[in-house]
Amino acid sequence: MSVLEVIAVVVSFLGIWLTARRKMLCWPVNLLACTLYFQLFLEVKLYADMVLQALFGVAILYGWMVWAKGRDEAGDVVVRPLAPLPACAALVVGGAGAFAIGWLTSHYTDAALPWMDSALSSFSLVAQFWTARRHAASWLLWIVVDVVYVGMFVFKGLWLTAGLYGAFVVLAVLGYMRWQKARRA
């Protein structure tokens, strides 16, 4: 556990908590968290997750813009349903991305866990895209991804980050419930 990991955990938790509450402040906080985790993953040779943080940075800017335009008269972010066909298409793209990234990192880097890291990174991008598009279903994918991340981080000895991702699972469950309630309202 390093000072960088401690700071990244605190900032990340705050960012996801704000996201679950549909607060616009989540975007700059999550952008800072991405920057911190980019550096941490570089240090522990989780390259797919390092690149994921850079891509998350782009996705965060996109989500920030989408959420800014997707608010109701009261200023609350409007939750949108996710249709089955786009959901399936996104999952297929996630699978293809996992294979492509896994192949590249397993052949051209000294990545610690190239296939798992790549699959988690690819499906995290799908979940992030769904979050940016304001789909409650994003939380369901986050739950699955975060549970697997816990195991990977335990294996890598990133205990605090594993704990953070365990907390992310709880926040994702709460986020899903809150977003479903908002969608029905």
pLDDT-above-70 percentage for the chain = 100
Report whether pLDDT(92) > 80.
yes
Q: Measured between alpha carbons, how far is 149 from 77 in angstroms, rounded to an integer?
A: 28
List pLDDT tens digits, range 5-56: 899 999 999 999 999 999 999 999 999 999 999 999 899 887 877 888 999 8
Is there a contact between 8 and 161 (Cβ–Cβ < 8 Å)?
A: yes
Q: Which residues pair with 77 in a beta bridge?
A: 71
Please calculate the CA angle 92-97-103 and round it to the nearest 5 degrees.
130
List pLDDT tens digits, range 168-177: 999 999 999 9
Q: Please report the pLDDT score of residue 50 as a whole number.
A: 86
- Classified as helix, coil or strand, 73 is coil
Report whether pLDDT(89) > 90.
yes
Q: Please report the pLDDT score of residue 24 as a whole number.
A: 94
List pLDDT tens digits, range 115-145: 998 999 899 999 999 999 999 999 999 999 9
> How far is Cα of residue 105 from the mean position of the Cα atoms in its chain?
20
pLDDT band at 82 (very low <50, low <70, confident <90, very high): very high
Q: Please report the pLDDT score of residue 95 as a whole number.
A: 98
Phi-psi region of 69 (alpha: psi -120 to 50; beta: other; left: phi over 0): alpha
pTM of the shown model:
0.88
Q: Which ranges of the chain would DSSP assign to H, the alpha helix? A: 3-20, 26-43, 47-69, 84-108, 114-132, 137-155, 159-184
Q: Measured between alpha carbons, how far is 183 from 50 in angstroms, rounded to an integer?
A: 33
pLDDT band at 181 (very low <50, low <70, confident <90, very high): very high
Q: Which residues pair with 71 in a beta bridge?
A: 77
CA distances from 99 to 111, 129, 136, 156, 178 (A): 15, 19, 26, 22, 33
Mean pLDDT along residues 162-168: 93
CA atoms within 13 A on the CB side of 42: 10
Domain boundaries, the chain: 3-73+84-184
Give me the chain's average pLDDT, please.
Answer: 93
